[in-house]
Chain A
Amino acid sequence: MRKSWDLIRPTFVLVIICLVISAALALTYNLAGVADLANAGYSAEQLAEFSASALPEADELQKVDVSVEDEDFHSVYKAANGAGMAIVVVTKGYNSDGMTVMYGFNPDGVMQGIYVIAQEETPGIGDKVTTDTEYLSRFAGQSADSFQVDTVAGATKTSTGLINGAKRAFELFEQLKGEVLG
């Protein structure tokens, strides 16, 4: 008995450790309700901050779940007071990880504003554009057919990224207008 116990003891100990740890983790994961927190998206204050520059007239944004599968669509929100809707798009700038940008529209499709939620652009060059309020304000008042925003010298990749994102947002607006604004 002694010999065989030595043989299986390591396996036995490892199995016990794995069992205890996985049980503890599963327990905490489900009890703490981490699951529903993980994909809750943006919190209320974050949304308020975004809509301040993307959709100024909107008082409060509510997330609308739509079945859009393509890769660069992130999410879409409806303004509670009917001031329009905001579409969040992932667009490729200089950095391959891409930028997450929210574009605000009023009900008839005129862009109200833009807010860059997350970006990994090159510090000092690319990220300047994403915080340059003057340049971002040029997006306000644009509409699908008369879209005219030029790129920023020195940060062409980042600004083209924002422009492509805007064009993509216009297409998504047309696509989702019926479903979201109803």
Chain B
Amino acid sequence: MAPAFSALTLFDVVLCVLIIGVALCSSSVRDLFAATVLLIIYGVFVAIAWVRLGAVDVALAEAAIGAGLTGVLLIGAVARLKITESPAAAVSRWQFAAKVIPASLGLLIASGLAYLVLTVEWRETLQAPVLANLPDTGVLNPVTAVLLNYRAYDTLLETSVLFAALIASWCTTHDDLWGERAGLRQHTRRAGILATFGRFLPPIGLIVGIHIFWAGADKWGGAFQAGTIFAAVWILAIMAGVIDAPNATGRSIRSFAVAGPMFFTFVALTGVLAQSFLIIPVMVAKPLTLAIEACLTLSIAATLMLLVLGAPRRSA
């Protein structure tokens, strides 16, 4: 079908090639820092791909979380590990086998998937019911409707995963550092660039975040995307020395992290009044959904911020 091969298709193909190229580079480059930066670039490209697939919500999430947050986490880790290169491995027969087996497995799975992509007739049947029931959900963005209404239970468990990951990474603290502030103590010069950024950026970030949060109900965005931006703002403010890094034993930061899932679980539990679970009544659907989202955004922001800062570390 020649006419379909338009300029946009060409763009798509080039984008795909770029994505694969960056992924390969990121996977093969020896320098760990470079690999991490490549992963961030990769994430941005993938986010563009999501836009091309008409999935703006995913694009935002990929950009904010997949590229941004993961990148920051990795860079932080690379910095802390103080090694930038994975050592050249001694080549032995074992090493050879250790490469050949994964390579053939990867090739097998990739080609198998490609074969399936091209031959199977795929089905997407849920879009119609999603849209048909949208008025009952109180939101206009179908993705938000799925996340916070149709499959809100997934989201409940997902916020629990974040919560578990937070406690889990706190669990890696040195016993004698328990109660110290998270991460390495930052030393920022008051007049430095970071400090200046740290004063200017947070208000802008807050506004962007609130917008994405608000837009999530109707167009695109939502708790996860907004929460990530708030987390970024928060971290920036800490790095700039505007506010102190939190302390894992602090009551308020724990409350921040827990409030969202707790409110969510509470709402879920009220469902038993209707002999069911996690019911969002149509009458109060919009305000209730917004309330849940607001609490979740807050907790996601706090949790992601804490995850990025990591456990309290000894300043070497």
- A-B interaction: no
Q: Residues on A close to B: CB < 8 A? A: none
Interface of B toward A, CB cutoff 8 Å: none
